[in-house]
């Protein structure tokens, strides 16, 4: 791996940790402020998934005999608003991560790092799934807008993840 790619992967590791802590903060909001334990559970799982993505990048770099650079993640701690607002933010975050992964892939192509391109294919596929999942949940939240019973049904479904 050349220096440009090493630097970009290190940035991606930090972005994955930031994404993880965003979801953890949203989970805390859903549990503590909104009383929606199913939403909190789903978001906690997202937190764990994003952590696993960061670790996958770290492991990949170490397999290639590179030293990952890990910086502290920013931890948002705020009221995210309604479940709809939360899932708008979830979808926007996933779209941002997709853009970052695509940029990293473009750099791997430019640098002719074929092994990195193969590794990034997994992330590209993962992001398609992530965006669809967030979009589907957001659409369901919008469908039950104004119906506390509908929101509680979604909460129950999200608890099963």
What value does the mean pLDDT take over residues 107-134? Answer: 97
**Tell me: the pLDDT tens digits for 122-161?**
999 999 999 999 999 999 999 999 999 999 999 999 999 8
Task: Decide if 23 contacts 50 (C-beta within 8 A).
Answer: yes
Sign, CA dihedral 114-13-66-58, equals negative
Mean pLDDT of the chain: 95
What value does the mean pLDDT take over residues 108-121? Answer: 97
What value does the mean pLDDT take over residues 12-17? Answer: 95
DSSP structural state of residue 73: P
CATH no. of 3-158: 1.20.1260.10
Q: How big is the CA angle at 12 (ends 70 and 88), to the nearest 5 degrees? A: 120
pLDDT of amino acid 70:
84
Sign, CA dihedral 72-124-59-112, equals negative
Domain-by-domain residue ranges, the chain?
Answer: 3-158
Neighbours of 33 (CB within 10 A): 11
Sign, CA dihedral 77-82-85-91, equals positive
Residue 24 to residue 33: CA distance in whole angstroms:
14
Taking the complete model, does pTM exceed 0.75, yes or no?
yes
**Contact partners, residue 26, CB within 8 Å, separation at least 6:** 43, 80, 86, 89, 90
What band does 78 get if pLDDT is binned at 50, 70 and 90? Answer: confident
Percent of the chain at pLDDT exceeding 70: 97
1 has pLDDT over 90: no
Task: Decide if 79 contacts 87 (C-beta within 8 A).
Answer: no
pLDDT of amino acid 79:
79
**Tell me: the pLDDT tens digits for 22-52?**
999 999 999 999 999 999 999 999 999 999 9
What value does the mean pLDDT take over residues 67-90? Answer: 85
pLDDT of amino acid 69:
86
């Amino acid at each position: 791996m050349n220096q440009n790619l090493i630097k970009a992967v290190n940035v991606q590791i930090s972005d994955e940790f930031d994404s993880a802590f965003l979801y953890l903060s949203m989970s805390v909001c859903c549990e503590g402020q909104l009383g929606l334990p199913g939403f909190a559970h789903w978001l906690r799982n997202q937190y764990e998934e994003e952590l696993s993505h960061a670790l996958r990048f770290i492991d990949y770099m170490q397999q290639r005999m590179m030293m990952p650079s890990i910086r502290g993640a920013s931890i948002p701690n705020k009221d995210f608003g309604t479940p709809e607002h939360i899932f708008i933010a979830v979808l926007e975050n996933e779209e941002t991560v997709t853009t970052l992964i695509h940029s990293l892939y473009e750099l791997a192509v430019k640098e002719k790092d074929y092994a990195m391109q193969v590794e990034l294919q997994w992330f590209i596929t993962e992001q398609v799934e992530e965006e669809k999942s967030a979009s589907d949940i957001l659409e369901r939240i919008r469908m039950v807008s104004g119906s506390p019973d509908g929101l509680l049904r979604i909460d129950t479904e999200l608890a099963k993840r």
